[in-house]
Amino acid sequence: MARIPFEKPNINAMFDEISGNYDKLNALMTFGLYKQWRQAVVYALGDARPQRILDVATGTADMPILLANSIPSVKEIVGVDYSAEMLRIGEDKVKSERLNKTVRLLPCNAELLPFEDETFDAVTCAFGIRNFAHRERALSEMLRVLRPGGRLCILELSIPRNRLLRIGYNAYTNSVIPFLGKHVAKNEKAYQYLTRSIKAMPQYERMVAIIQSVGFTRVRFRALSGGTATLFEAMRSSSTPLIQA
């Protein structure tokens, strides 16, 4: 069935508006599972012993904080996002965790990263790639700043393949999530967008093909919690040419 395109709202303004309730809504909407999903990224990167990590679409800095506290080899994590309000909340969380010397947050566009080539040992992106206007361009930038042999981990919400799970999932995302958005975040439209953006997101093998198309190798995916989230893993090989998207 063909996917129906939809007009994206002003993403930065939308995330600024919901930033105050963002963490609370994540916990409510996922029944706390989002913490397990983020932990899967830690497991995927731990054996690589990365020292420098870039977290794209870092939001309120949950992923950099988790990585800094969980992977002993880490010396520096840079989190980037375009929402000033999300970063402001993230800065407060970084300070409360006393991670100022390890975690640095910067406002920037994921499609034009302000870093030299081959800067990072790993690049992560949790629940953000579906919001990018030009997905391949952002992925090309992630490839560019990743050193040869470096790892990519993309965590994203997804649609279960199991028919029965999908029926329940669709009912939940179409009704409960907008309800929570309206009554908790006071922004129903933002959480209606969330549901539409998940449905518009390339799923499973389609996303693998997109990641491969910009030059990543060893691309694979792993469905989490019945397919309500998916972890995509990839690598930049030593011979990978940079492809301009």
Query: What gap in Å lies between CA 61 and CA 92, rounded to an integer?
Result: 9
Q: Is 81 annotated as a binding residue?
A: yes
Distances, alpha carbon 221 to alpha carbons 21, 41, 77, 162, 187, in Å: 30, 12, 24, 16, 32
Q: Is 109 annotated as a binding residue?
A: yes
**171 CB contacts (<8 Å, ≥6 apart)?**
none
Contacts of residue 137, Cβ cutoff 8 Å, sequence gap at least 6? 111, 245
122 annotated as a binding-site residue: no
Secondary structure of residue 18 in the 3-state scheme:
helix
Q: At what angle do helices 84-96 and 11-18 cross, to 10 degrees?
A: 40
Count Cα neighbours of 173 within 13 Å in the Cβ-side half-sphere.
Answer: 18
3-state secondary structure of 79: strand
Residues 198 and 183: their CA atoms lie apart, in Å, by 21
CB 125 within 8 A of CB 209: no
Parallel, antiparallel or unpaired: strands 146-157 and 217-224: unpaired
Residue 60 annotated as lining a ligand binding site: yes
Q: Would you list which residues are annotated within the binding site? A: 60, 81, 109-110
Q: Would you list which residues are annotated within the binding site for S-adenosyl-L-methionine? A: 60, 81, 109-110
